[in-house]
Amino acid sequence: MTVWEAVIGIETHVELSTESKMFCSCPADAEGEPNTACCPVCLALPGALPVPNGKAIEGILKIGLALDCDINESSIFYRKNYFYPDLPKNYQISQYTFPVCEHGHIEIDVDGASVRIGITRVHMEEDTGKSTHVGDGDGRIHGADHTLLDFNRAGIPLVEIVTEPDIRTSQEARAYGAELQRIVLALGVSDAKLEAGSMRFDVNVSVRPVGAKELGTRTETKNVNSLRSVQRTIDYEIDRQIKVLEAGGEVRLETRHWNENTGVTTSMRTKEESEDYRYFQDPDLLPLEVTPAWQSEIRSGLPELPAITRARLATLGADMIAAGVLADSSDLAALFEEAVEAGASGRAAGIWLTGEVVAYTRRSDVAVLETGLTGGRLAELTAMVEAGKLSSSAAKKVLIAVLEGEGSPEEIAESKELLQVSDITAIEAAIDHVLAENADAVDKIRGGDMKPFGFLVGQVMRQMGGRADPKVVRDLLTDRTAG
Amino acid sequence: MTGPDIADLADLTIAEAGTGLRSGDFTSTDLLAAVTKRASATEAHLHAYLTLDHEGSTRAAEAADASFAVGEDRGPLQGIPVALKDNMCTLGIETTASSKILDGWIPPYDATIVTRLKAAGAVITGKTNLDEFAMGSSTENSAYGPTRNPWNTDRVPGGSSGGSAAVTAVGSALGSFGSDTGGSIRQPAALTGLVGMKPTYGIVSRYGLIAFASSLDQIGPFSRTVEDSVLLLETISGFDPKDATSINAPVPNFGGSLGRGVSGMRIGVVTEFLNGDVIDSQIIAATRGMADKLQDAGAEIVEVSLPSTEYSLSAYYLIAPAECSSNLARFDGVRYGHRSNVEGTTEDMMSHSRAEGFGPEVIRRILLGTYALSAGYYDAFYGQAQRVRTLVRREFASAYEQVDALISPTTPTTAFAIGEKSDDPIAMYYSDLCTIPSNLAGDPAISVPIALDDAGLPIGFQVMAPALGEEVMYRVAAYVERLAGFTARASLATSEVVAP
């Protein structure tokens, strides 16, 4: 039986969150009343001309540098010609040869192993308008009786990031998408909202027998808009293509559509029907010059990238999972670093922050900065737990109260009487009391039957109102029940 | 009214009119009345205007008069009636590019050139006829009917800016603006006895000019004298942040050397354009005669061969259609312009709107350009044409290392008869033989009338200069004008139809 492997490449579109559009001064805001953020340029009125937005170029340079790309000192805008009602000029200004960025890569982590995904190119283009198909057709053009057009989105700067066909599994693809989203968010160049379409994926999948050198025929599934869907789309396509091939059929070179509800991809158009885009250099735009000085200015202004942040947090003691969660939130990461600075163990601080603290902020729908927690207080809490002053259940109660803004852990533990008693005389008094009332149990233990030991520990703890250190109780009880 | 007769005002140069306005001999309103009267008398014979903006021009003339009255002077075009080719967007005034597909379209914005003219106090009389989307050399390709030549109404005025040429030639404006992609200002200027000039690419903003071929299109002026040409160009040129191809540098001092003569200059005659197989013999003779006069005036005349010009026409007719096929894609009936009533899909609506809205020459060029850009043909056609363009540029650049300016005929023939070439596109394309190379090179060039042929039709003489070499170009052109002593006026401008 043939063993198959998949070959996967991903094209990602990221809408930049610049103030104005790519080639005109309209606000880059697609959310307003339809057709209110438009002008002669983005509506492609006769005579209107595009002028590139320098802020958008900065955005793509940040992305390209973060992905370790080479930056072309001179890059060229092309026209991609095709007719579609929501494409005002009936060509899209995009790039072809000489994109802004080329030859980069990204490291992703899959099950603890690092995988390197090559980036072929990162290029600049503009978004289209939005079509809304009205009538029977379930929102799709087939069956609709008319279409409404909104050009607010037309001309919003769009960066396209294309990988090499280096991805082999749906899990790697998902990890790639997640890491790319983290990078874009860290750079602050886009809100990268998958559900809102400001970041979206086109997934290219082919399969071939393991060991084969030649690539199989690929399909492209367009506009997949969640990480989970990326994984599901790929799993579905791999499975479908293998079935087709094993049944003696051929995979068709085609564009497919992912249906979120049915979990199935369907054919949109074969590549034979697809357009000849007649790319040519846009004569309205001069080559885009990126001087080495501009490049180094952008490079020196780059924030710390998520992979570096994760590595740094790990060296401070956070475990891999906690480091990942902390790196995704600059607020949590900052609290973590403050706590470690104030003497907390990185491991403990990481677990508290990514466990109880994240759960609390979700449950109460507050930002962590709006709570009463500080790095110093977290360090205080972990120190109390380590010193045996708080049981883990008491520590949770104290942390919630700290988050609620009730004060420092010491104050709260004090006022709520949650401090553990390590005072041996008090515990011994309780043990005396319990042993006196349970002479039978002591006899059994001394006779070699250890069953009642746990019962005695429980009785002592109860006597202490739960505030004794269980370890101390056990040690003392062991001594006192020894024959 | 103390000055000369109103009918005469329409025959003044812009410089003369400016002097009259400033000395109070007449008002801008008088000037406007004169050109309007001239238009009323001649339009039935010419069909040069598509739209006359009576209301706007009256208001602008009154505003100019008010400015003069308080001593406010916004420059040499204040109060001067000028006309615009109808491919330049004018806020609130119908702009059609002579195409049915834009019939009734009213722009919501002014082209940069219009903004500048308004700021300079110019009086915009109206919009002039052209070959549809500026594609043609005779103004016969207008969806609204042809414009006729005021020298002989059986002849074409040239094109594509034939309407702008005719109005300035006949006096229904004192100057006008056209656009020149392959000769569309210089060729009609030559055929109507005017000075017509194409600036260095990037000197005049294209924002608001309905694009034909973006890498070649330039707006430029028509005038009766070289001096007027300078005044018109000065007003409209300069960096525009709305046009990414606009040159961000101070504009040259165009008129700085107008009176300096040509003594000591080295001027090259382009030998390829003195070839009797393609150029009319009377035109060759007139061109040689003028070269001799320049030599007598102290210029050194040398023959310069530009062999790549042989391929310029072919390269142009690939590059320009390729760009137009993409530029004209936006006319799809979706957002503005003609929309077909065809039943069917959105795609059917778009394709029928285009098929119904565009004329045959426009469709021919869109098809040609689409083909030239298609996968598998790109390198052989568009790619090859771009290589020729690079070659032309290099050849001109190296020529300008040897000479200060180049001279040639502007056109292979004088004004031809209406209908004569309209069924033969290739013959029509040859009208631009001598003008296309400057567009490919991006250099400035000007046509100056120097003589009449045996049929009494004007002959144009072309002066070309390197990029941003307008000052040198105008210096030679002004001396050519002086040596030619060309004072003839279009017959219609002096006929009984315009008699007061």
Residue A321 has pLDDT above 70, yes or no: yes
Angstrom distance (rounded) from CA B373 to CA B264: 47
pLDDT at A483: 63
Pair B478, B463: CB distance under 8 Å: no
Higher pLDDT, A249 or B2: A249
Residue B7 has pLDDT above 90, yes or no: no
Residues sharing a CB contact under 8 Å with residue A458, sequence separation 6 or more, in sequence order:
none
* Averaged pLDDT, A451-479: 84
Residue A144 has pLDDT above 80, yes or no: no
* Averaged pLDDT, B219-234: 98
Chain A residue nearest residue B87, CA to CA: A47
Across the interface, do B207 and A48 touch by the CB < 8 Å criterion? yes
pLDDT at A271: 66
Chain A residue nearest residue B374, CA to CA: A278
Pair B480, B265: CB distance under 8 Å: no
* Averaged pLDDT, A10-23: 97
pLDDT in tens, A397-455: 888 988 888 888 888 888 877 777 767 788 888 888 888 888 888 888 888 888 888 88
Beta-carbon neighbour count of residue B386 at 10 Å? Answer: 19
Q: Would you tell me the crossing angle of helices A470-481 and A424-437 to the nearest 10 degrees? A: 50
Length of chain A: 483
> Distance, in angstroms, between B443 CA and closest chain A CA?
17
Q: How confident is the model at residue A99 (pLDDT cuts 50, 70, 90)?
A: very high
- How is residue B463 written in tokens? 């002066």
Closest CA to A379 of A411, A348, A414, A422: A348
Where is average pLDDT lowest: A42-46, B203-207, B246-250, B492-496?
Answer: B492-496
pLDDT at A407: 87
Across the interface, do A276 and B214 touch by the CB < 8 Å criterion? no
pLDDT at B1: 41
Residues sharing a CB contact under 8 Å with residue B389, sequence separation 6 or more, in sequence order:
B315, B319, B440
Task: Outline where B88-224 has alpha helix (H).
Answer: 112-119, 162-170, 186-191
User: What distances in angstroms separate CA A138 from CA A144, A224, A262, A266, one per listed residue?
Assistant: 8, 18, 14, 15
pLDDT in tens, B270-316: 999 999 999 999 999 999 999 999 999 999 999 999 999 989 999 99
- Test the B interface: residue of A124, A147, A152, A280 with most B CBs within 10 Å: A280
pLDDT at B33: 96
In which residue are the tokens 């961000």 written? B248
- Helix then strand count (H, E) for chain B reads 17, 11
Among A241-245, A320-324, A352-356, top mean pLDDT goes to: A241-245
Q: How confident is the model at residue B387 (pLDDT cuts 50, 70, 90)?
A: very high
pLDDT at B2: 43
Residue A92 has pLDDT above 90, yes or no: yes
**CA dihedral in degrees (B459, B130, B165, B464; nearest 10)?**
-60
Angstrom distance (rounded) from CA B333 to CA B348: 11
pLDDT at A170: 95
What Rg do the C-alpha atoms of chain B give, in angstroms?
21
Find the angle CA(A287)-CA(A291)-CA(A296) to the nearest 5 degrees.
Answer: 140
Q: Is A273 on the interface with B (CB under 8 A)?
A: no
Q: How confident is the model at residue B247 (pLDDT cuts 50, 70, 90)?
A: very high
User: Which CATH architecture does the domain made up of A424-480 adopt?
Assistant: Orthogonal Bundle (1.10)
Q: Is B329 on the interface with A (CB under 8 A)?
A: yes
**CA dihedral in degrees (A96, A100, A104, A109; nearest 10)?**
-100
* Averaged pLDDT, A314-325: 87
- How is residue B41 written in tokens? 């008398």
Residue A129 has pLDDT above 80, yes or no: yes
pLDDT at A90: 97
Pair A153, A110: CB distance under 8 Å: no
Q: How confident is the model at residue B59 (pLDDT cuts 50, 70, 90)?
A: very high
Among A85-99, A381-395, B372-386, B418-432, top mean pLDDT goes to: A85-99
* Averaged pLDDT, A66-79: 96
Arithmetic mean of pLDDT over chain B: 95
Q: How confident is the model at residue A462 (pLDDT cuts 50, 70, 90)?
A: confident
Across the interface, do B329 and A47 touch by the CB < 8 Å criterion? no
pLDDT at B301: 98
Reported ipTM: 0.95
Angstrom distance (rounded) from CA B128 to CA B88: 10
> Distance, in angstroms, between A129 CA and closest chain B CA?
12
Across the interface, do A49 and B206 touch by the CB < 8 Å criterion? yes
Active site residue ranges of B = 85, 160, 184
Q: Is A32 on the interface with B (CB under 8 A)?
A: no
Chain B residue nearest residue A92, CA to CA: B326
Residue B6 has pLDDT above 70, yes or no: no
Q: Identify which of B95, B323, B329 has the shortest CB distance to residue A283.
A: B323
Residue B3 has pLDDT above 70, yes or no: no
Where is average pLDDT lowest: A18-27, A323-332, B299-308?
Answer: A323-332
Q: Is A44 on the interface with B (CB under 8 A)?
A: yes
* Averaged pLDDT, B347-355: 96
Domain ranges of chain A: 4-298, 306-415, 424-480
Q: How confident is the model at residue A134 (pLDDT cuts 50, 70, 90)?
A: confident
Q: Identify which of A79, A88, A91 has the shortest CB distance to residue B335.
A: A88
pLDDT at A393: 80
* Averaged pLDDT, B69-91: 97
Residue A66 has pLDDT above 90, yes or no: yes
pLDDT in tens, B354-381: 999 999 999 999 999 999 999 888 889 9
Residue A139 has pLDDT above 70, yes or no: no
